[in-house]
Structures are given as structure tokens and as C-alpha cells.
Structure 1
Amino acid sequence: MRAFGWNMLLAMAWVILSGTYSIGNLVVGMVLSYLVLAYVLRDKPTFARYFGKLPKIIGFVLFFIWDLLKANARVAYDVMTPTHLMRPGVIAIPLDVKDEGAITIFANLITVTPGTLTLDVSSDRKVLYVHIMYLDDEARQLAELKALEARVIDLLG
């Protein structure tokens, strides 16, 4: 967390020294200070984890946006056409993630995706129950949700 603190401190210094107080300028300061710190601290193994997170975060965001677009398109198509293709169902997802915070993040990512809703977590935190509007192929849906879980584990691990 020390690298993030330095990143924020340098970004704030950038904003103050440039004299332009805006979110865009803060983002520019964050990017510039990230690059400077990545270069200056490149030989410090304690900071390697911080600098390795950015590519993972970008990859996760792009992956989730793509999933979100696909789900929105499917729901929009079903709403706008006269025939309804819904086949709702509930599936149980065996959880590989053990941390309660990670389970919460995973469950919320499922819930914000159109067509899916997290219903419950088992009391032993080993199974997550999800309602799916389009349960055509349970194995495929389970594989997609497990891929999302693997990304969450990779990002938080």
C-alpha cells in the first residue's frame, strides 16, 4: 500500500503544481506518477506486486465490460422481439474463493450483469446460488461464471 500512497502523493503534487484542479488532471497525474514510480522502484521486489496489478485491473475491466455488453444485448433483444427466449433457472456454483470480501465482490459482479441475480451463499461459504434468465446450457453458464470467479481470484490474490 506504500506504493499507492506515493502514487497519490505525487499525483496531488502534479495537480497543485500544474494549477488545474480537475479530475482529468488528477488522472494524468496518477498515470505520470505511476510511470515514474514504476521506473524508479523497478528493482524493489516489495513494490512489484503494486505495479503488476495495473495490467490485471485493465484486463479484468475489459473482460467484465465485454460480458456486460453481451448480457445487455441479449436482454435488449429479448425485450424488443415478440418471442421470449427466457428459460429461467437457478444454478449452484461451487466456490473456489474463500475470502468473504472476494465472495461479496464476485456475487455483486454477477448481480449487476443483466439476466443474472445472486440469490444466496451457503452457510459454509462453499456454494453460491444464482438465478439466470437464460439458462439454455447449464455447463456453459457455469463455465462462464467460474471464469469470472477465476478473474476475481487473480485480481485480489
Structure 2
Amino acid sequence: MNALTWNIVLALIWVGITGEFSSANLVIGFVLGYVILAFAMRDVKHFTHYASKVPKVIRFIGFFVRELVMSNLRVAYDVLTPTHYMRPAVIAVKLEARTDGEITILANLISLTPGTLSLDVSSDRSVLYLHVMYLDDEQAVHASIKALEARVLDILR
């Protein structure tokens, strides 16, 4: 079994021992399992790779939630005010992601945030076409998409 599976098993054991199945208790069990695995498997190569990914995933979740909230607020403000600030456009973003999984995850995360929608991927999988609602600065949009892509690839690779 890999380290993630062991961590999940330890979290479920914790939930079973405490007798309280709640999301908070499951998170506590996951954290405790992570600490136990970090101590028990500190010299195992595949665990050190897993151990370095967990903090990155936590930081990514915080980053993505922040982006999600900010884009929701921007769209909500535009809907609720009489003046519309939309400047819709279709743009092409050059991709560093190469596998189908990487491209799919990136495209879905982009589509989850209000104001952006993944439309298509070029046949050679090097360009992602996006519809954006607010094209105030094309370079800024490219930079934000590339920042998201870099974080996704950092977790997946």
C-alpha cells in the first residue's frame, strides 16, 4: 500500500476507536496518521515524496478557495450593480501540462471559478482555449492561469 492509503486507513481506525464519525474527527485522524507515518517511515523514499506533497495540497486548497471566493464576489458585484463591467473574450493559454489528467484537472479547476470557462484544448494539447468574462488585462489573466497551472503541476508531478 502507498502512504496515502495507509494514512486513510489510520484515520479510519482513529474514527473507529473514538466512536465518533464526523468530518472534524476524520481530519484529526488523518493528521495523527500523517504524524505517525512521518515518524515510522521517515527513511522510506516513497513516503518522503508523499510527505512533501501534503503541505503543498493544503496550501493549494487555501489558494484555490481564495481565488474561488474572489471570483464569486466579482461576478456577484457585476450582477447586482446596474453598470456591467464585463469584457468577455476568448483567449488561448499555452500549456505546460502534458498528460490528459493534468490538462483535465486544470481545465476543471478553471471552469469551477466563476467568470472563466475552459472551452477546448488544441489537437497537440499545447494550448487551452478559455472564455473569460473580464478581460481587463490579458497579461494578468494569463499570469493568473499560469499561476494556477504551476500549483497544479507542482502537486501532480
Q: Does residue 72 of structure 2 align to residue 47 of structure 1?
A: no
Q: Does residue 5 of structure 2 align to residue 5 of structure 1?
A: yes
Residue matched to 1:122 = 122
| Structure 2: distance between partners of 1:37 and 1:135 | 46
Question: Where do 1:5-154 residues align within 5 Å?
Answer: 5-154=5-154
The range that moved more, 7-16 or 52-61, is 7-16
Q: CA deviation at 1:46?
A: 2.4
State the SS of the aligned residue for 1:90. strand
Preserved CA contact (<8 Å) 2:3 2:46: no
CA offsets per residue over residues 68-122 of structure 1, 9 Å max, x none?
A: 1111111111111111011100100011110100100000011010001111111
The range that moved more, 17-26 or 136-145, is 17-26
| Structure 1: distance between partners of 2:86 and 2:139 | 17
Q: CA deviation at 1:42?
A: 1.5
CA offsets per residue over residues 15-66 of structure 1, 9 Å max, x none?
A: 2222223333222211111111111211222210111111100111111111
| Structure 2: distance between partners of 1:122 and 1:97 | 12
The range that moved more, 91-100 or 65-74, is 65-74
Which sections of structure 1, spanning at least 5 residues, go unmatched? none
Preserved CA contact (<8 Å) 2:111 2:117: yes
- The one-letter code matched in structure 2 to 1:156 is L
RMSD of aligned residue pairs (Cα, Å): 1.3
| Structure 1: distance between partners of 2:61 and 2:22 | 24
The range that moved more, 134-143 or 37-46, is 37-46
The range that moved more, 95-104 or 64-73, is 64-73
- Cα distance change of structure 1 residues 107 and 2 upon mapping to structure 2, 3 Å threshold: same
| Structure 1: distance between partners of 2:133 and 2:149 | 19
- The one-letter code matched in structure 1 to 2:151 is R
State the aligned residue count.
157
| Structure 2: distance between partners of 1:99 and 1:41 | 30
- The one-letter code matched in structure 1 to 2:27 is V
State the SS of the aligned residue for 1:42. coil
Q: CA deviation at 1:133?
A: 0.4
Which sections of structure 2, spanning at least 5 residues, go unmatched? none
